[in-house]
Amino acid sequence: MTTRNYHHGNLRAALIEAGLAALETSDQAELSLRAIARDVGVSANAAYRHFANKDDLLGALAAEGFRRFAAKQAEATRDGAASRQARSAAAKAYVSFAQAHPALFRLMFSRFLYASSSEDLKEAASAAFQGLLQASAQHAGVPVESEKALLMALANWSMVHGLSHLMLDGQLALFNMAMDKLIDGVIDLPGPLPQVT
């Protein structure tokens, strides 16, 4: 494709979409801002007007990933976060997102998040965690600002994040158990994670 002048209402959004699509077939190390610009049909200079460098693009991709991730979590718990079914649905949505978008998921939760100077990325990541915190507080029946809500949110996050990475790395294939059955089984286990009151 030859580069051309780009006359689009939102080149930044088009570059982000192309970057997300590129992450579906490669990882962040292989991503190139010049290649993304070429995919969209613009010059590298046009892309650099929106992203100073590759890290700037990666920050925007991760931020959009968090927004989409948070939307999936909200959709899973729209009928109320306190029920076992809602917690199961949220856990399945978390793991499913990781399975569907492994490179994006790894980018979102990599050290890049904490090293990035992108306020948009930090806000998107924080908003995603706030959804988990609110759901955990509702389930525990405690104020969202309480330490108990935070600890429960961290316990829930650790469980689903750990399961996501174990699945991505193929560590659970040995047990030959379907994802839904595995998640439901872990959630139903007695102990502090699902039973915090």
Rounded CA-CA distance 21/42 in Å is 16
Q: What tens digit of pLDDT does each residue of 36-58 get? A: 999 999 999 999 999 999 999 99
Domain boundaries for CATH 1.10.10 within the chain: 1-51
pLDDT at 100: 95
Output the CATH code of domain 60-195.
1.10.357.10
At 193 the pLDDT is 44
pLDDT, greater one: 134 or 4? 134
The CA distance from 158 to 99, in Å, is: 17
State the DSSP code for 1.
Answer: -
Helix (H, G, I), strand (E, B) or coil at 157: helix
CATH 1.10.357.10 in the chain: give the residue spans.
60-195
Look up tokens 């049909």; give the residue: 41
Is the Cβ–Cβ distance between 33 and 51 less than 8 Å? yes
Topology classification of domain 1-51: Arc Repressor Mutant, subunit A (1.10.10)
Query: Which residue, chain included where needed, has tokens 């600002």?
Result: 145
DSSP states of 40-101 as a string? HT--HHHHHTT-SSHHHHHHHHHHHHHHHHHHHHHHHTTT-SSSHHHHHHHHHHHHHHHHH-
Q: How confident is the model at residue 196 (pLDDT cuts 50, 70, 90)?
A: very low
Q: Cα–Cα distance between 181 and 119 in angstroms, integer?
A: 38
Please state, in angstroms and as integers, the Cα–Cα distance from residue 73 to each residue in 14, 69, 133, 144, following that order: 25, 6, 12, 17
CB 108 within 8 A of CB 115: no
pLDDT surpassing 90 at residue 78: no
